[in-house]
């Protein structure tokens, strides 16, 4: 019976995709290890400037984050296009900073409080006015250790 031998000789064999799950799992594990869960949603544009003389912030739990930048498109009708401040999950005024700092301090163990650092994540198109105001508020509550969070790269990337 030649019924089963009809296949022509020139047919390409199907590509074996058995290893595809392995490849995808590898990618998956890479992303799981290299990233952290977003803990608060950013409502502002937050493209950080570049710098290369950076120090790493190693104690994640001892960092307070202050974000600043232009509101995202969806919020512009309500908050305008001027640079705004974001603390935790909401838009804030500069005058809200002391309360925020006190709340953060309160949530940490007492012996760790002197090591708290404030990380300023400010969009690179922001004016220094708001940054100066933030620094002034931080000085008032004696939160003197700050860190301007930046991407790692040459400063020439900032000039565009």
Partner 1 sequence: MARRSSPEVNAGSMADIAFLLLIFFLVTTTIETDSGISRKLPPMEESEEDVVIKQKNIFTVLLNGKDQLLVEDELMQLEDLRTSAIEFLDNGGGNGEDACNYCKGKRDPKSSDNPDKAIISLKNERETSYATYISVQNELVAAYTHLRNIRAQELFGESYSEMMKNYKDVNWPGNRDKLKENINRLRKEYPQKLSEVQ
Q: Does 94 bind partner 1 (CB under 8 A)?
A: no
> Based on CB atoms, which residue is closest to partner 1, 1 or 37?
37
> Based on CB atoms, which residue is closest to partner 1, 108 or 145?
145
CB of 9 to partner 1, least distance (A): 27
Q: Does 16 bind partner 1 (CB under 8 A)?
A: no
Binding-site member from 64, 87, 104, 149 for partner 1 (CB under 8 A): 149
Contact 121, 44 (CB under 8 A): no
Contacts of 126 (CB under 8 A, 6+ apart): 68, 69, 70, 83
Contact 94, 137 (CB under 8 A): yes
CA-based torsion, 38, 39, 43, 48: positive or negative: negative
Task: Tell me the C-alpha distance between 111 and 96, whole Å.
Answer: 25
CB of 102 to partner 1, least distance (A): 16
Q: Does 15 bind partner 1 (CB under 8 A)?
A: no
Contacts of 88 (CB under 8 A, 6+ apart): 40, 100
* Binding flags for partner 1, 28-57, as an x/- string (CB under 8 A): x--xx-xxxxx---------xxxxxxxxxx
Q: Does 108 bind partner 1 (CB under 8 A)?
A: no
Q: Does 64 bind partner 1 (CB under 8 A)?
A: no
Q: Is 88 left (phi over 0), alpha (psi -120 to 50) or beta?
A: left
Task: Please report, as ranges, the residues that interact with partner 1 according to CB under 8 A.
Answer: 17-18, 20-21, 24-25, 27-28, 31-32, 34-38, 48-58, 60, 63, 117, 119, 122-129, 131-132, 135-136, 138-140, 142-152, 155, 158-159
């Amino acid at each position: 019976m030649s019924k089963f031998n009809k296949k022509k000789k020139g047919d390409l064999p199907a590509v074996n995709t058995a290893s595809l799950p392995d490849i995808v799992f590898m990618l998956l594990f890479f992303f799981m290890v290299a990233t952290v869960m977003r803990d608060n949603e950013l409502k502002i544009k937050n493209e950080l400037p570049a710098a290369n003389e950076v120090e790493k912030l190693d104690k994640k739990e001892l960092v307070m984050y202050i974000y600043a930048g232009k509101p995202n498109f969806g919020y512009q009708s309500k908050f305008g296009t001027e640079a705004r401040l974001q603390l935790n999950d909401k838009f804030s005024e500069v005058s809200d900073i002391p309360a925020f700092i006190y709340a953060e301090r309160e949530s940490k163990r007492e012996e760790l409080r002197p090591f708290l650092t404030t990380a300023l994540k400010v969009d690179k198109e922001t004016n220094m006015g708001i940054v100066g105001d933030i620094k002034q508020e931080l000085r008032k509550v004696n939160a003197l250790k700050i860190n301007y969070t930046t991407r790692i790269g040459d400063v020439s990337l900032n000039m565009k």
